[in-house]
Amino acid sequence: QVQLVESGGGSVQAGGSLRLSCAMSGNTHSPNCMGWFRQAPGKEREGVAGIRATDGRTDYADSVKGRFTVSQDNAKVYLQMNAVKPEDTATYYCAATAWDAYCSGSPHVYEYNYWGQGIQVTVSS
């Protein structure tokens, strides 16, 4: 059974940095795409960053461009969060596609097959 487990969340002050990690297990092949999503209370889940293994293509939500960096190492994905803002406060989820699934490398919810349980990130002002 495929599982995704996030780590590295917590509380940080505005302007600080945080690094999220996610490890995938139970898969026989590395996923084609991995990504990060977030959901704040009362809001819909939104894509934050995505990365495609075949060519390294990455894509980011406008709200995090220049501040967040996504990277992938086989079946692990990372999100380096710099210059965080209070509006980055949310539950963050990592996700992965099947190894043979088409994916764009953009963080579109509908492209992802597997999801982690989520980890809380709280940014205080």
Secondary structure class of 60 (helix, strand, coil): strand
Q: Are 68 and 79 in contact (CB under 8 A)?
A: yes
Residue with token string 């043979």: 100
Percent of the chain with pLDDT over 90: 90
Alpha-carbon span 60 to 70, nearest angstrom? 9
**Which amino acid is residue 15, in one-letter code?**
G
Say yes or no to pLDDT of 27 above 90: no
DSSP structural state of residue 106: S
Say yes or no to pLDDT of 123 above 90: yes
The helix/strand count (H/E) of the chain reads as 0, 11
pLDDT for 28 equals 81
